[in-house]
Amino acid sequence: MMNVEEIQAEAVKKIPTEQTIQKIQTMETEISPEPESETDEPECKPIPFRLLTIQEMAAIVNCSVGTVYTMKAYGRVPPPIRLGRLLRWDPREVQKWLDNRCPSFEKKVVVKMKKGNQ
């Protein structure tokens, strides 16, 4: 059996010195990988705007939904984004259109000719 002095001597040997603590810290930094930087992960940005519906577009222009459809057909409003059967407008494009005093847009006209009239 160990006496009190031997137990104290063993305990003192187990207490790490300042030099031992520094060695352990340097070993830990060498072994452990550095934390991943934030640029490694894909960045999720919030959507800055919401696309406008036909009703919202009519409210902005202060006319009926039918008039917006007619204006779209004649190229008098910015071209909408088609999502399946839905039409949506980019609010930034609408704002530019309004800021430029509502200019008309180029509309491609397709002319179908009959077979006999070439």
pLDDT per residue as tens digits for the range 6-31: 666 666 566 666 666 666 666 666 66
* Residue in this structure with the two tokens 């300042």, named with its chain if needed: 18
Q: Residue 117's pLDDT is what?
A: 58
Give the pLDDT score at 45: 72
Q: In the beta sheet, which residues pair with residue 81?
A: 88
Contact 89, 51 (CB under 8 A): yes
Q: Which residues pair with 52 in a beta bridge?
A: 89
pLDDT tens, position by position, 26-74: 666 666 555 555 556 667 777 667 899 999 999 999 999 999 999 999 9
